[in-house]
């Protein structure tokens, strides 16, 4: 094993290579199951989650999370789990899986291709590996700490741009932290000559930052299952991430900024104090 990776390994040996392999496999299989549901979306029963604005859930979300959870439990029964649909369990475990079975459900049920499966792993409280599977475009974004980041088998890096005018910045918002935090950032970004995109899936847009397709991504409040895998992707691709896990971010969520390192300070300045509030 390379010395750089050995220096990063936890103090006690864990089957991290196997966890990485299984995360990729399960993410791809779950995304394919999701694609089957997606092609039959007109017949899906869809409901709105109480008190969370535009968040919706379908039987596909529940079935995919059940599949992912069963697969992980079969291979790693001692691990903890945090899922969007089934909640948290065994958070005292050294390894905790953090899963969004379908990130971008509103896009999913409305026939837009911007949804994905996101599986991340915390080891001793640190984001360690992640897999984001996009079945519509046959892409698997994946990374393990110390190994680099990839889309399928191609290594990826963050965008080399030096100015916010040289690309697009991804954005997202939530009704839990309203437009008072979102609109000022958009105004400042536009004033700087930048431009933004919102595609409905935070996990995908974070992966796009890692792949150099976006300069950065800012969301006023995001949950851990939407971004844990992406944190590993961005860091392994050479990017910077805000301190998402602070103040119970794993269970309560937080604001998030990820970006190419040379552009992170400029974006953080446009966001202002709300990034760390």
Residue ranges of the annotated binding site for Mg(2+) are 84, 100, 102-103, 226
Retrieve residue 124's tokens: 């001793």
Do 129 and 106 meet the contact criterion of CB atoms below 8 Å apart? Answer: no
Dihedrals phi, psi of 219, to nearest 5 degrees:
-130, 135
Cβ atoms of 35 and 133 closer than 8 Å: no
Q: Which residues are annotated as a binding site?
A: 84, 100, 102-103, 226
Tell me how far apart the alpha carbons of residues 109 and 96 are, in angstroms, rounded to a whole number.
Answer: 29
Would you state the structure tokens that stand for residue 105, as one six-digit string? 């459900």
Euclidean distance between CA atoms 233 and 127, whole angstroms: 10
Please report where in the chains the tokens 């105004």 appear, as a residue: 187
Alpha carbon distance 78, 180 (integer Å): 42
- Give the C-alpha separation, 131 to 119, whole Å: 5
């Amino acid at each position: 094993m390379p010395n750089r990776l050995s220096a990063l390994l936890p103090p006690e040996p864990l089957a991290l290579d196997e966890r990485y392999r299984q995360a990729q496999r399960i993410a791809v299989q779950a995304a394919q199951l999701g694609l089957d549901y997606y092609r039959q979306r007109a017949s899906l029963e869809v409901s709105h989650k109480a008190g969370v604005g535009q968040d919706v859930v379908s039987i596909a979300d529940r079935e995919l999370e059940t599949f992912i959870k069963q697969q992980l439990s079969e291979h790693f029964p001692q691990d903890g789990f945090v899922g969007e649909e089934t909640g948290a369990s065994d958070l005292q475990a050294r390894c905790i899986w953090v899963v969004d079975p379908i990130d971008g459900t509103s896009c999913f049920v409305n026939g837009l291709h911007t949804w994905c499966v996101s599986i991340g792993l915390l080891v001793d409280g640190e984001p360690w590996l992640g897999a984001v599977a996009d079945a519509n475009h046959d892409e698997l974004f994946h990374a393990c700490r110390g190994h680099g980041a990839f889309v399928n088998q191609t290594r990826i890096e963050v965008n080399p741009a030096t100015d916010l005018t040289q690309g697009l910045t991804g954005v997202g918002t939530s009704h839990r932290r309203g437009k008072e935090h979102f609109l000022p950032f958009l105004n400042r970004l536009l004033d700087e000559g930048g431009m933004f995109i919102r595609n409905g899936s935070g996990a995908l847009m974070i992966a796009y930052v890692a792949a150099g397709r976006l300069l950065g991504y800012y969301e006023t409040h995001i949950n851990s299952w939407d971004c844990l895998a992406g944190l590993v992707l961005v860091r392994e691709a050479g990017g910077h991430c805000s301190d998402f896990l602070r103040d119970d971010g794993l269970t309560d969520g937080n604001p998030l900024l990820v970006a190419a390192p040379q552009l992170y300070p400029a974006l953080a300045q446009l966001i202002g104090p709300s990034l760390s509030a």
